[in-house]
Amino acid sequence: MSEDLVGDLVELLGEDGFFQLAEIYAGVRLFVPRDPDFSDLPKKVGDDIAVLLSKAYGGNYVRVPLARTFRARRYREADMTNRDIAIRLGLTESAVVKIFTREKKAGRAIKSRRDHNQLDFFS
């Protein structure tokens, strides 16, 4: 069910919108008001996302998925280290490595903005 909800929310909000929602509410039940003007939802996720959520789920609760794989991909694209990703997701570093190993086996390469010709001084 969670994967279906991830897909539904990504389709509704776009990847950036879903990422923003997951960054704030991952793993919790979120009450989505029918009218976002009567809540703090627009302040937290932005007016556009709040309106879209209200139209689709207004008056109901949504269990916002943890979306760890999705978020890990976004963090990797932002050149975060496995250590930093682990801290952000509440995982061990080896669990983060497993996420990326599964993604690689599934044929979903994680792009990094890092210049691989540049030496990593802190590794």
pLDDT at 90 over 90: yes
Q: Which amino acid is at 46?
A: G
* 32-84 residue pLDDT tens: 999 999 999 999 999 999 999 999 999 999 999 999 999 999 999 999 999 99
pLDDT at position 1? 39
Query: Whole-prediction pTM value?
Result: 0.81
* Segments making up each domain of the chain, as ranges: 2-63, 68-105
* 92-122 residue pLDDT tens: 999 999 999 998 888 876 655 555 555 555 5
Contact between residue 73 and residue 103 where contact means Cβ atoms under 8 Å apart: yes
String of DSSP letters for 66-95: --HHHHHHHHHHTT--HHHHHHHHT--HHH
